[in-house]
């Protein structure tokens, strides 16, 4: 058992770079040195103040940015339609809202986040004892890839927009750099969520694969038995019989015991915060009840030893299988609970991200349309003037949302898969006792499934994505129709005005500006319409 | 019919040649799958870059015609490129794997049928064939008509170069439909296996009903006669039957079960398993239990395993073809909406004025109909398969409710069936035919699409086309 400990490395070990980065940018307030040395997330007062300070600086800078670019030229405000103006006003602030939600939730959750990973580590240890190995090394690579992708996207959007669309002769234009802050902070936060979710999915899959391994092993075992002659068969029959006649009462008691033990185990582990105590508890527990489980692993790998095979399939031994299945189900429950807790921690950020994704996607497409009709668009959405940058932004935003949705869908599917694999064990063993165990556990699993949702408003699965994509399209069509109608109304008004003007009735400076810009609009719309239809 | 479709899909490079052999010439297998996309891309980019041989570059093509043609072409490109990429990604492994799984399942089914003595029942399958052939014929005629229409008009317009615009107009939709045809074929195979399983379950169910009556009434004579007619286990005397009480030994039953399992696998001869376990029974105890003619309940574990295996197979199939459903359904949706739009707003007012415009609108309508038919068949089959798999659980529940004789003896069968139905509940939560989770492939999808289409149409129909048509000189 002692050598098993170092092999269960905490998941957070893989998060080193991500944590350093997010600490620096102000996504998480936890203590950096504690994380470096012990791989735990601990509350930190200094980190909190640092983060609040950063948040305030970001907000101030961003509002300054909005004002500075909003007052770029008052003519834009005057000439754009009310629809565009209102949408722009609302949408320029949603990035800010999203960032603030992320950071404030992170501040509130700084204690609970550490517990979450601690629980995950305990789960890993229990899984290790059941001989399901979870490989965490991919996670570090994943994190690196995600960070690199984020940086590439953000830099591309920032630089290309700055060079192409911002007037960089003024020093104030450097303020444009602030415009990437909200999305960057948000993406870092979501990388935490996505990677943790991925880790959960891995755990579920590890459970499933270990159950499937049981099945294949037993099938081999049965094939071996089938090839055996009758004498052996009756012998096996008798042994099976004897093992069957005893267990029922014994097992019923044992099940209770395990449940009690398991419950205590989880409770004690969850309650204890420090790491040293946590390490002790599982060892003691495992020595008590699962002491003989670990050494059996090595000779399972060797399928050539036919004589051993007859006794080896775990499914032929009901008591041992019951232990194993019970443990796996408890771990499954625990992972489900962790998933729910995680979803709870990130529920508001995810809701704000989804709202942001939906609105920005619609708005960017709408402004792209406006820009092709050379109507004026809000200054913070100037990236919509260039189709390529728009595409990159859309890919970036939607990629973020879709990846999260896809992962949570997959995780929830993997958790549902466990029940099926469990039943496979039952069917393949075809033993009354195992059937009873399996049925009992299966009901439990049926009630324990993780469904990720955003504050309970909608579940995070692909069907939501389908609905949202439909929503975006229909809103876009409606917006474009309104825009067309507004343009036509404006044209009519303008032609009336210009008629009046030539008659020499009205002639103020502002109105002159109005007419010239809308005359331009009129000209372009009449030019563009036939080519499109 | 399936053969024809397979040849066709090999011909236009959607599935590899020699797909069933794992070892064959790699280059030869995938040559067609590379040549066709290259040809397509050459045609597509040739038209778009050199601006020749395309409908939009003809003088007779007005703005509406140009728009609709561009939409049709780019949508087709999207459809074809995604489908081809996914097909290339799938490669041969899937087909080999599918066949292997299917063969395994068939072996099991054959065994079960032998046990259940259902070898002769074939009439049902033959009756099925009529509707099947009719559907195939109908689909073929629809496709032939669509292709004929498109190629004829293109030939009239472009002469011998018609193949180039044809590649970008009808070909992608044809390719997409053929891939859906492959999907249909695989799903129908799965559905067929489910039906066979259901018939086996149904057999057990019927037997349970038959056997229940003599047990309660203790009608010794008829039962005895029945057994004499059945030669399978003639040594059972009817008199011992009466002696049999309803509380058999639990241990004996368990022993019987245990012995049956290992035996069950290695019997390749025509012996039924039932005879074997009866032998063991006689060996152990002289009392004969009532399951002398319950030949098929021994199938239950195998059937449960089979059900599980078929579901696993459908997961694999759906994983391969589900992603290809998504672009196809999307293309079908867009083509249908624009087909209706063009038909009502353009063709209704100015039909017969412009040859090319008419051609485009009718092309939309024809392809929307064909894709809709294919999509409907896909949905219908997926829904049927789902229902079949659900039905097995229902039948098992029915058997449980009847409490047949073999269940009275011990808990094993009860637990087994309960386990099966519970597992099915898990399966229901886990799997349904779907397009990468975006939508379930059943009739609810039709409802959601129709409602979406209605709202889009309401918005689209408000576009005022009269001014545009007037400016094109089509409307006076």
Give yes or no for B412 touching A (CB within 8 A).
yes
The residue behind tokens 């008591």 is: A319
Domain segments of chain A as ranges = 11-225+321-481
Distance CA B182, CA B184 (A): 5
What pLDDT, in 10s, does the model give residues A413-458? 999 888 888 888 888 877 788 888 888 888 888 888 788 888 889 8
Question: Given this model, what pLDDT does residue A290 score?
Answer: 36
The partner residue sitting opposite B471, judged by closest CB among A419, A427, A530, is: A530
> B205 and B225 in one domain?
no
The partner residue sitting opposite A237, judged by closest CB among B255, B463, B471, is: B255
The residue behind tokens 């229990």 is: A126
How far is the CA of A320 from the CAs of A170, B151, B456, in angstroms? 75, 69, 60
| Whether the Cβ atoms of residue B295 and residue B232 lie closer than 8 Å to each other | yes
The partner residue sitting opposite B419, judged by closest CB among A222, A228, A423, is: A423
Residue B93 has which token pair?
């492994």
> Which of A104-108, A333-337, A509-513, B333-337 bottoms out in mean pLDDT, i.e. has the lowest?
A509-513
pLDDT higher for B386 or A218?
B386
Q: Where are the alpha helices (DSSP H) in B218-299?
A: 220-229, 238-243, 250-266, 273-284
Question: Given this model, what pLDDT does residue B250 score?
Answer: 42
> B362 and B240 in one domain?
no
Residue B333 has which token pair?
């949706």
> B194 and B237 in one domain?
no
Cβ contact (<8 Å) for A465 and B410?
A: no
- Closest-CA residue to A367 (of A495, A483, A516): A483
Q: What mean pLDDT comes out for the span B326-351?
A: 88
Residue A373 has which token pair?
């009709």
| Whether the Cβ atoms of residue B274 and residue B211 lie closer than 8 Å to each other | no
> B355 and B399 in one domain?
yes
Residue B435 sits at φ, ψ, to 5 deg, of -100, 100
Q: Following CA atoms A178, A180, A182, A183 in sequence, which dihedral angle do they give, to the nearest 10 degrees?
A: 180
Residue B476 falls inside a structural domain: no
Q: Is the dihedral of CA A438, A441, A447, A451 positive or negative?
A: negative
pLDDT higher for A509 or A158?
A158
Cβ within 8 Å of A, B 67-86: 67
> B387 and B260 in one domain?
no
Interface probe with B: pick from A426, A430, A528, A532, most Cβ of B within 10 Å? A430
> B303 and B165 in one domain?
yes
Question: Given this model, what pLDDT does residue A265 score?
Answer: 39
Residue A154 has which token pair?
């953000």
Interface probe with B: pick from A420, A442, A485, most Cβ of B within 10 Å? A420
> B401 and B253 in one domain?
no
- Whether pLDDT at B194 is above 80: yes
> B316 and B254 in one domain?
no
Question: Given this model, what pLDDT does residue B52 score?
Answer: 73
- Whether pLDDT at A71 is above 80: no
Distance CA A489, CA A496 (A): 11
Interface probe with A: pick from B71, B251, B337, B423, most Cβ of A within 10 Å? B423
Distance CA B198, CA B391 (A): 7
> Which of A295-309, A399-413, B196-210 bottoms out in mean pLDDT, i.e. has the lowest?
A295-309
Last residue of a domain, one of B285, B315, B342: B285
Longest dimension (CA), chain B: 100
Question: Given this model, what pLDDT does residue A80 score?
Answer: 61
- Whether pLDDT at B124 is above 70: no
Which residues lie closer than 8 Å to A445 by C-beta, 6 or more apart?
Answer: A329, A332, A418, A419, A422, B426
Question: Given this model, what pLDDT does residue B271 score?
Answer: 39
**What's the number of domains chain B is made of?**
2
DSSP conformational letter for B433: -
The partner residue sitting opposite A240, judged by closest CB among B63, B258, B439, is: B258
Residue B371 falls inside a structural domain: yes
> Which of A181-190, B11-20, B437-446, B459-468 bottoms out in mean pLDDT, i.e. has the lowest?
B11-20
Residue A281 sits at φ, ψ, to 5 deg, of -55, -50
Give yes or no for B454 touching A (CB within 8 A).
no
| Whether the Cβ atoms of residue A419 and residue A305 lie closer than 8 Å to each other | no
Cβ contact (<8 Å) for A233 and B465?
A: no
Question: Given this model, what pLDDT does residue B222 score?
Answer: 47
| Whether the Cβ atoms of residue A362 and residue A475 lie closer than 8 Å to each other | yes
Give yes or no for B430 touching A (CB within 8 A).
yes
The partner residue sitting opposite B452, judged by closest CB among A226, A430, A470, is: A470
> B429 and B352 in one domain?
yes
Distance CA A144, CA A165 (A): 31
Question: Given this model, what pLDDT does residue B370 score?
Answer: 92
With CA atoms as reference, the chain B residue closest to A411 would be B430
What pLDDT, in 10s, does the model give residues B246-289? 444 444 444 444 444 444 433 333 333 333 333 333 333 333 33
pLDDT higher for A501 or B47?
B47
Cβ contact (<8 Å) for A416 and B465?
A: no
Question: Given this model, what pLDDT does residue A505 score?
Answer: 53
Question: Given this model, what pLDDT does residue A150 score?
Answer: 92
> B335 and B357 in one domain?
yes
With CA atoms as reference, the chain B residue closest to A228 would be B262
Query: Average pLDDT, whole number, for chain A?
Result: 75
What pLDDT, in 10s, does the model give residues B51-91? 777 777 777 778 888 888 889 999 999 999 998 888 888 76
> B309 and B240 in one domain?
no
What DSSP element (H or E) covers A111? helix A110-129
Q: What ipTM goes with this model?
A: 0.76
Question: Which three-class secondary structure string do you get for A429-489?
Answer: HCCHHHHHHHHHHHHHHHHCCCCCEECCCEECCHHHHHHHHHHHHHHHHHHHHHHHHHHHH
Cβ contact (<8 Å) for A445 and B426?
A: yes
Question: Given this model, what pLDDT does residue A303 score?
Answer: 39
Q: Considering only CB atoms, which chain A residues are within 8 Å of B460?
A: 477
Give yes or no for B25 touching A (CB within 8 A).
no
Cβ contact (<8 Å) for A442 and B422?
A: yes
Q: What mean pLDDT comes out for the span A221-231?
A: 69
Label residue A241 by pLDDT band (50, 70, 90). very low
Residue B291 falls inside a structural domain: no
Cβ contact (<8 Å) for B468 and A439?
A: no
The rounded percent of chain A whose pLDDT value lies above 70 is: 73
With CA atoms as reference, the chain B residue closest to A421 would be B423
Cβ within 8 Å of A, B 235-254: 251, 254
What pLDDT, in 10s, does the model give residues A318-348? 777 888 888 888 899 999 999 999 999 999 9
The partner residue sitting opposite B304, judged by closest CB among A427, A477, A530, is: A427
What pLDDT, in 10s, does the model give residues A179-220? 888 899 999 999 999 999 999 999 899 889 888 888 888 888
Cβ contact (<8 Å) for A463 and B439?
A: yes
Q: Is the dihedral of CA B134, B135, B140, B142 positive or negative?
A: positive
Domain with B243, as residue range(s), is 220-285
> Which of A77-81, A192-196, B385-389 bottoms out in mean pLDDT, i.e. has the lowest?
A77-81
Residue B215 falls inside a structural domain: no
> B206 and B250 in one domain?
no
Give yes or no for B301 touching A (CB within 8 A).
yes
Question: Given this model, what pLDDT does residue A352 score?
Answer: 92
- Closest-CA residue to A16 (of A1, A2, A29, A34): A34
Last residue of a domain, one of B285, B318, B336: B285
In this prediction the pTM is 0.77
Cβ within 8 Å of A, B 256-285: 257-259, 261-263, 265-266
Residue B399 falls inside a structural domain: yes
- List, as one string, the DSSP characters of A398-414: HHHHHHHHHHHHHHHHH
């Amino acid at each position: 058992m002692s050598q098993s400990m170092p092999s269960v490395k905490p998941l957070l070990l893989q998060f080193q770079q991500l944590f350093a980065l997010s600490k620096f940018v102000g996504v998480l307030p936890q203590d950096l040195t504690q994380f470096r040395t012990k791989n735990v997330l601990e509350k930190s007062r200094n980190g909190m103040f640092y983060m609040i300070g950063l948040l305030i600086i970001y907000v101030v800078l961003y509002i300054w940015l909005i004002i500075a670019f909003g007052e770029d030229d008052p003519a834009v405000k005057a000439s754009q339609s009310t629809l565009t103006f209102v949408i722009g006003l609302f949408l320029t602030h949603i990035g800010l809202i999203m960032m603030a939600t992320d950071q404030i939730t992170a501040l509130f959750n700084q204690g609970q986040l550490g517990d979450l990973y601690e629980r995950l580590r305990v789960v890993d240890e229990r899984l290790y004892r059941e001989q399901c190995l979870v490989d965490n090394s991919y996670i570090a690579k994943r994190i690196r890839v995600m960070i690199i992708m984020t940086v590439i996207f953000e830099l591309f959007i920032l630089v290309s927009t700055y060079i192409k669309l911002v007037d960089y002769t003024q020093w104030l234009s450097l303020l444009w750099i602030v415009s990437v802050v909200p999305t960057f902070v948000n993406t870092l936060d979501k990388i935490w969520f996505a990677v943790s979710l991925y880790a959960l999915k891995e755990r579920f899959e590890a459970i499933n694969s270990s159950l499937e391994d049981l099945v294949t092993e037993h099938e081999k075992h049965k094939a071996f038995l089938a090839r055996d002659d009758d004498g052996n068969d009756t012998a096996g029959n008798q042994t099976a019989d004897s093992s069957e006649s005893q267990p029922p009462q014994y097992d019923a008691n044992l099940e209770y015991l395990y449940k009690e033990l398991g419950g205590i185990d989880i409770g004690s582990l969850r309650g204890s915060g420090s790491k040293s105590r946590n390490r002790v508890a599982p060892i003691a527990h495992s020595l008590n009840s699962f002491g003989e489980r670990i050494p059996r692993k090595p000779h399972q790998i060797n399928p050539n030893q036919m004589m051993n095979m007859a006794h080896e399939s775990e499914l032929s031994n009901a008591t041992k299988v019951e232990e194993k299945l019970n443990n796996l189900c408890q771990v499954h429950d625990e992972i489900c609970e962790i998933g729910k807790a995680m979803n709870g921690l990130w529920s508001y950020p995810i809701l704000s991200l989804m709202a942001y994704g939906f609105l920005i996607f619609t708005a960017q497409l709408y402004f792209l349309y406006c820009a092709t009709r050379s109507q004026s668009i809000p200054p913070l959405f100037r990236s919509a003037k260039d189709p390529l940058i728009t595409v990159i932004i859309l890919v970036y935003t939607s990629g973020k949302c879709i990846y999260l949705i896809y992962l949570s869908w997959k995780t929830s599917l993997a958790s549902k898969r466990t029940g099926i694999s469990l039943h496979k064990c039952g069917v393949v063993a075809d033993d009354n006792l195992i059937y009873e165990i399996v049925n009992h556990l299966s009901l439990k699993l049926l009630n324990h499934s993780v469904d990720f949702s955003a504050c309970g408003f909608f579940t995070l699965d692909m069907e939501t994505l389908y609905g949202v994509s439909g929503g975006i399209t229909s809103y876009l069509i409606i917006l474009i129709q309104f825009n067309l109608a507004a343009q036509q109304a404006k044209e009519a008004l303008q032609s009336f005005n210009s008629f009046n003007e030539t008659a020499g009735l009205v002639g103020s400076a502002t109105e002159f500006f109005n007419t010239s810009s809308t005359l331009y609009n009129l000209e372009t719309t009449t030019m563009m319409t036939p080519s499109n239809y | 019919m399936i053969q024809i479709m397979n040849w066709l899909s090999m011909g236009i490079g959607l599935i590899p040649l020699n797909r069933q052999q794992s070892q064959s010439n790699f280059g030869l297998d995938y040559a067609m799958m590379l040549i066709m996309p290259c040809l397509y891309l050459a045609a597509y980019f040739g038209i778009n870059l050199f601006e020749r041989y395309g409908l939009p570059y003809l003088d007779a093509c007005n703005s509406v015609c140009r728009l609709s043609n561009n939409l049709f072409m780019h949508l087709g490109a999207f459809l074809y490129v995604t489908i081809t990429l996914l097909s290339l990604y799938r490669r041969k492994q899937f087909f080999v794997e599918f066949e292997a799984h299917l063969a395994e399942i068939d072996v099991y089914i054959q065994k079960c049928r032998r046990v259940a003595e259902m070898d002769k029942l074939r009439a049902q399958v033959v009756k099925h064939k009529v509707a099947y052939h009719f559907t195939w014929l109908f689909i073929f005629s629809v496709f032939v008509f669509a292709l004929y229409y498109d190629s004829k008009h293109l030939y009239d317009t472009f002469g011998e170069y018609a193949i180039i615009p044809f590649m970008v107009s009808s070909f992608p939709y044809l390719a997409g439909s053929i891939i859906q045809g492959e999907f249909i074929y695989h799903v129908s195979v799965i559905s067929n296996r489910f039906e066979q399983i259901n018939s086996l379950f149904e057999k057990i169910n019927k037997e349970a009903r038959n056997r229940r009556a003599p047990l309660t009434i203790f009608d010794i004579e008829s039962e005895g006669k029945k057994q004499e007619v059945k030669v399978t286990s003639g040594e059972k005397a009817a008199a011992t039957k009466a002696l049999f009480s309803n509380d058999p030994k639990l241990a004996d039953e368990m022993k019987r079960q245990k012995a049956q399992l290992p035996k069950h696998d290695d019997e390749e001869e025509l012996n039924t398993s039932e005879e074997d376990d009866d032998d063991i029974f006689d060996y152990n105890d002289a009392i004969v239990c009532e399951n002398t003619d319950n030949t098929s309940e021994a199938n239950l574990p195998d059937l449960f395993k089979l059900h599980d295996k078929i579901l696993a197979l459908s997961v694999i199939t759906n994983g391969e073809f589900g992603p290809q459903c998504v672009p196809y359904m999307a293309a079908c949706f867009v083509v249908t909406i624009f087909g209706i739009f063009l038909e009502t707003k353009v063709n209704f007012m100015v039909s017969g004025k412009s040859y090319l415009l008419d051609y485009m609108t009718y092309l939309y309508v024809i392809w929307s109909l064909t894709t809709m038919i294919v999509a409907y068949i896909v949905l219908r089959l997926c829904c049927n398969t789902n229902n079949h798999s659900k039905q097995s659980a229902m039948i098992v529940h029915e058997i449980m409710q009847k409490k047949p004789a073999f269940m009275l003896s011990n808990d094993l069968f009860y637990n087994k069936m309960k386990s099966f139905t519970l597992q099915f509940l898990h399966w229901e939560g886990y799997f349904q035919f779907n397009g990468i989770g975006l939508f379930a492939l059943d009739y609810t999808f039709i409802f959601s699409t129709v409602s979406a289409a209605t709202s889009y149409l309401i918005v689209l129909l408000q576009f005022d086309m009269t001014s545009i048509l007037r400016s094109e000189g089509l409307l006076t």
